Structure formats: C-alpha cells, structure tokens
Amino acid sequence: MMLVKTKKELFEKLQMLREKGSIGFVPTMGALHRGHLSLVDFAARENPVVVVSIFVNPTQFNDPDDLKRYPRDLEADLELLKTTGCNLVFAPEAAEMYPEPDTRKFDFGHLEQVMEGKHRPGHFNGVAQVVSKFFEIVQPDRAYFGQKDFQQLAVVKMLVRLLNLPVEIVACPIIREKSGLAMSSRNELLSPEERENASLIFDILSQAKNLTGEKSVEGLVNWVIENINKNPFLNVEYFEVVDSENLQPVKTWEEKGEKTGCIAVHCGKVRLIDNIVLN
Ligand SMILES: Nc1ncnc2c1ncn2[C@@H]1O[C@H](COP(=O)(O)OP(=O)(O)OP(=O)(O)O)[C@@H](O)[C@H]1O
Ligand SMILES: CC(C)(CO)[C@@H](O)C(=O)[O-]
Ligand code: BAL
C-alpha cells in the first residue's frame, strides 16, 4: 500500500496502477472504523485497484467547531488500511485540493433543501465540490459510499448525472456497533455514557419499522421523536419519512415506492445521523 499527498504523485502512481484494470474509489474523512473498511472491502471485491482518500474537507462544514473537533489520526488510519485491499491512499492538505477558492454553486433542487441540507446550509455544495474534484483527479470506474449518509448518496448520484461523469456510484449497507449504534467517526467524541444511551436511536428506529401497520406516518414520526427525546442524553433535530429515491415527504403508507425514515439526533455536543427502510 502506498501513501501519496500530492496530485502529481497520485497521477504518477495511478498511471502504473491503471494497467491492472478498473479503479474502485472510497472517499473518506479519516478516523476510520469498520464502516469505512467495509466500503474498501466492497471496492476490492469489484476492482483490481482500490484508492482511498483521507481528507477532512473544510468546505462542507457549516459549523467551525465541528470542523475543529473532527477526529484526525492518519497513522492509525494507515495501520487499518494495511489490513485491507487498499492499494493507494491519497491524503492531501487543503491547499492541494483548493489551490484556488472553489466558488462553484451546484443546484440539487429538493435533494439539498431537506433534512441534512436544511440543517447544514452549504454542506452538500461543499461535498459536491470535493467529490467532483476527487472524481476528476482519480478518474475511478466505481465509487463507494455508505448508506448511513443516505442523502449524500442521492446528492452524489445527481452530481454524476449533472456532470455526465463516467463513474458508477455503489451504495454500501450501514455497519453498526454491537449495540446497534451506526458506526461513525464522530462516535469517538461521545463519552462512554453518551455512547451507551445513543444506542436507543437504532432501537427506536427498529421498533418503528414494526409499527407502520398500526400508526399513521405522522403518528409514527411523533412516536419516534417522543421516545428518543425521553432519554435525557438525546435530542432529536429531525425525523422524516421520505421516498427513498427522490426524498419527497411521504404522507401515507399507501404511497408507492420504498420509504426511508431519516433521523438526526444531538447527543451532548455530537450530532449523529441514521436511517432505516420502513417498508
Ligand atoms: N457505519 C457506516 N456504515 C457504512 N458506511 C459508513 C459508515 N459510516 C460512514 N460510512 C461511509 O464512509 C464514507 C466516509 O464517511 P466519513 O469519513 O464522513 O465517516 P463517518 O463515520 O460518516 O463520519 P461522520 O459521520 O462522523 O462524518 C461515507 O460514504 C460514509 O457514508
Ligand atoms: C464523501 C466525503 C468524503 C466528502 O468529503 C464525506 O462527505 C464523507 O466522508 O461522507
Ligand atoms: N459523513 C458526512 C460528512 C460530514 O458529516 O460532514
């Protein structure tokens, strides 16, 4: 496994690696856990070459404290990646990715106006800026994203359509801790007590999945919010039931198509997200 920090080094290494066949790309912000490693495993199964990027992208943080606190540990990340099928790690500095300020404004319409987009203004524009740069630099055949960031997946798929990019976006399932809590780099910022209580989020989402027969959509939304907020460590920012494809709000269970319940919860200073398919 090789580590490169500049685009020049990356181009040189990729020129050699590309001869082996297709490139699978896994973009991350580091502080790696089993969720990230599962994306690398999917990529390695489907491509002879796997590239992982580690970059805490400043343009997608709407909250400067969140950016400052975001966990970083390149040494530990490299140790973990050594145990996987990753061939090349790209860990650039901010100036390498943004030699000029990126002033591009993307329009994802409804996809960026709800849930994460509504509560983190500018977030998806920053994600689109950095992901489009990575796609241009790495030119992957396939790119792997986790379903934990459900809305991000929809935005990245639209980005690829908007820019006509020849990259296949592969969605990978959510990896959870034994307690059910979705793995996340931000979990490291939770105290042991907060972490224990945060497992209630998936517990309630799983129960909600079994209640769609007896509660209306609105009734279920209120039930989820009330039951999570009963826990003194947790405070729900939103819980919404949306169409899995277009993220339009779902009003009744009779509507066609797959429905996903998406949630953001504050636990102490940490903001956690999760989601579950409800039908
Ligand atoms: N538990 C998980 N299961 C599957 N994929 C995951 C999981 N956690 C993160 N990913 C995916 O890994 C990629 C990189 O995510 P990122 O580096 O932001 O990690 P993260 O754990 O989501 O961190 P945070 O949520 O604290 O930002 C994204 O595609 C994300 O969806
Ligand atoms: C895709 C991504 C690496 C872009 O910075 C980030 O949003 C993430 O880790 O999900
Ligand atoms: N996993 C999404 C990256 C972020 O929270 O900014």
Look at residue 234 in the predicted model and tell me its pLDDT. Answer: 98
| Alpha-carbon dihedral angle through residues 100, 98, 102, 8, given to the nearest 10 degrees | 90
Q: What percent of the chain has pLDDT over 70?
A: 100
Whole-number pLDDT of residue 41: 98
What parts of the chain have a pLDDT lower than 70?
none
Tokens at 175, concatenated: 């990896």
Q: Residue 39, SS3? A: helix
Does the annotation flag 184 for ligand binding? Answer: yes
Assess whether the C-beta atom of 87 lies below 6 angstroms from ligand 1. no
Domain 2-172 and domain 185-274, same fold? Reply is no
Tokens of 277: 């398919």
Residue 36 catalytic? Answer: yes
Burial (CB < 10 A; 0-12, 13-18, 19+), residue 33, is middle
Distance CA(215)–CA(205), nearest Å, equals 14
Q: What fold characterizes domain 2-172? A: Rossmann fold (3.40.50)
Please name every residue paired with 28 in a beta bridge, in sequence order, or none if there are none: 54
For residue 80, the model assigns a pLDDT of: 98
Q: How far apart are CA 262 and CA 239, in angstroms?
A: 6
**Domain 185-274, architecture per CATH:** 2-Layer Sandwich (3.30)
Q: Mutate which of 29, 145, 148, 175 to test ligand 3's pocket (most atoms within 8 Å of Cβ)?
A: 29
Domain boundaries, the chain: 2-172, 185-274
Q: CA angle, 184 as apex, 48 and 227 as ends, to 5°?
A: 140
pLDDT at 175: 98
DSSP reduced 3-state for 71: coil
Rounded to two decimals, the ipTM of the complex is 0.97
Q: What is the pLDDT of residue 67?
A: 95
Residue 152 assigned ligand-binding role: yes
Determine the Cα–Cα distance for residues 149 and 7; give it in Å rounded to an integer.
27
